[in-house]
Amino acid sequence: MSATHLMQTYAPQPVAFARGDGVWLWDTEGKRYLDALAGIAVNGLGHNHPVLVRALAEQAAKIIHTSNLFRVPEQERAAERVCALANMDNAFFANSGAEANEAAIKLARLHGHQRGVENATIVVMEKAWHGRTLATLSATGSRKAQAGFEPLMGGFLRVPYNDFAAVERLADNQSIVAVLLEVLQGEGGIHVADAEYLRKLRALCDRKQWLLMIDEVQSGIGRTGKWFAHQWSGIVPDVITLAKGLGSGVPIGACLARGVAAKVFKPGNHGSTFGGGPLVSVAALTTLDVIEKDGLLEHAKAMGDILKGGLERELSGIAGVKDIRGMGLMLGIELDRPCGDIVKRALAAGLVTNVTADRVIRLLPPLVIQEAEARQLVAILAPLVKAFLAEAPAAAAA
Segment 304 to 333, residues that bind ligand PLP, using CB under 6 A: none
User: Among residues 49, 130, 202, 301, which is the contact residue for ligand PLP, using CB under 6 A?
Assistant: 130
215 touching ligand PLP, by CB under 6 A = yes
Contacts of 141 (CB under 8 A, 6+ apart): 124, 125, 126, 127, 128, 129, 158, 161, 188
Distance CA 253, CA 269 (A): 18
User: Among residues 20, 22, 112, 186, which is the contact residue for ligand PLP, using CB under 6 A?
Assistant: 186
User: Among residues 22, 44, 46, 131, which is the contact residue for ligand PLP, using CB under 6 A?
Assistant: 131
Closer to ligand PLP by CB, 101 or 162: give it.
101
CB 184 → ligand PLP: shortest distance, Å? 9
Distance CA 156, CA 179 (A): 9
Closer to ligand PLP by CB, 96 or 281: give it.
96
Encoded one letter per residue, x for contact with ligand PLP by CB under 6 A and - for no contact, window 75-104 reads ---------------------xxx--x---
Phi, psi of 178 (to 5 degrees): -165, 160
User: Among residues 35, 74, 102, 182, which is the contact residue for ligand PLP, using CB under 6 A?
Assistant: 182
CB of 368 within 8 A of CB of 23? yes
Please choose, out of 73-81, 118-126, 179-187, 337-345, the segment that lies near ligand PLP by the rule CB under 6 A. 179-187
Question: Which residue is closest to ligand PLP by CB?
Answer: 97
Closer to ligand PLP by CB, 245 or 278: give it.
245
CB of 198 within 8 A of CB of 235? yes
Beta-strand runs (E) in 294-380: 321-327, 330-335, 351-352, 354-356, 360-363
Cα dihedral 83, 210, 107, 250, rounded to 10, equals -40
CB of 123 within 8 A of CB of 288? no
376 touching ligand PLP, by CB under 6 A = no
141 touching ligand PLP, by CB under 6 A = no
Cα–Cα–Cα angle for 71, 73, 79, rounded to 5 degrees: 100
CB 202 → ligand PLP: shortest distance, Å? 19
Collapsing DSSP to helix, strand or coil, 174 comes out as coil
Provide the binding-site residues for ligand PLP, judged by CB under 6 A: 96-98, 101, 129-131, 182, 186-187, 215, 217-218, 243-244
